[in-house]
Amino acid sequence: MPAFTPPPLPSDDKRWKIVNGTMRKNGFARHALIETLHTVQSAFGYLDDDSIRFVALSLRVPLSQAYGVVTFYHYFSLKPPGKHTMTICAGTACYIKGSDKLIAAAEKRLGITPGQTTSDGQISLMTARCVGACSRAPVVLCDGAVAGEMATEPMLEQLERWAVE
Ligand code: FES
């Protein structure tokens, strides 16, 4: 049997690397299904057709099984999050460099906690465990694009811009 080649990442959105990292850590074994879907949920705020298909293909589980898991657990959401997503890394390196302050400032500005979306649907706030850019801590992903050495002011300015665009 030829060696299995995992499918390519769906896009160059950096969050797919986090998802892939979870699968790689588990040797692309099927038992990683729930953990991987969790990673998609926490990185993107929800799961859509493409992400479920990508995970199922990568782990070689039937698509129906992946959908079964997503619809069974209430934790998973199939609803699109806000128009924009701010993902703040809360991994150790970023935490040491003050990501908790970034999270607190974003929560205060948006009036939501991580995992939630503003009531006007503009912005979702998410956290991640490590996005693989520790040397640039603290790191945030603005709609999937890495922004390192982030400080509170520029982050809040980004949120201001997103609030209206
Ligand atoms: S801990 Fe934040 S990028 Fe690694």
CB atoms within 10 A of CB 19: 24
Does some domain include residue 4?
no
Alpha carbons 38 and 117: distance in angstroms, whole number: 18
Chain segment 29-86, per-residue pLDDT in tens = 999 999 999 999 988 888 888 899 999 999 999 988 898 888 888 778 876 678 998 9
The 3-state DSSP class for residue 131 equals coil
- Residue 138 preceded by cis peptide, ω within 30: yes
Alpha carbons 105 and 151: distance in angstroms, whole number: 10
Does some domain include residue 130?
yes
- The pLDDT of residue 102 is 98
CA 135 to centroid of ligand 1, rounded, Å: 8
Q: Which residue has the higher pLDDT, 130 or 140?
A: 140
Chain segment 83-108, per-residue pLDDT in tens = 998 989 999 999 999 999 999 999 99
Alpha carbons 6 and 156: distance in angstroms, whole number: 38
Alpha carbons 106 and 115: distance in angstroms, whole number: 12
- Probe residue for ligand 1, chosen from 130, 135, 141, 149 as the CB with the greatest number of ligand atoms within 8 Å: 130
Domain ends where: 72, 94, 112? 72
| Statement to judge: residues 129 and 155 lie in one domain | yes
| Statement to judge: residues 116 and 154 lie in one domain | yes
pTM beyond 0.85: no
| Boundaries of domain holding 21 | 15-72
Q: What's the whole-number average pLDDT of the chain? A: 90
Does some domain include residue 19?
yes
Does some domain include residue 6?
no
Does some domain include residue 23?
yes
| Statement to judge: residues 126 and 66 lie in one domain | no
Q: Say yes or no to pLDDT of 161 above 80.
A: yes
Number of independent structural domains in the chain = 2
- The pLDDT of residue 1 is 53
| 23, 58 Cβ separation under 8 angstroms | yes
**Residue 93 Cβ < 6 Å to ligand 1:** yes
The encoded tokens of residue 4 equal 């299995």
**Residue 66 Cβ < 6 Å to ligand 1:** no
| Statement to judge: residues 65 and 115 lie in one domain | no
| Statement to judge: residues 150 and 92 lie in one domain | yes
Does some domain include residue 5?
no
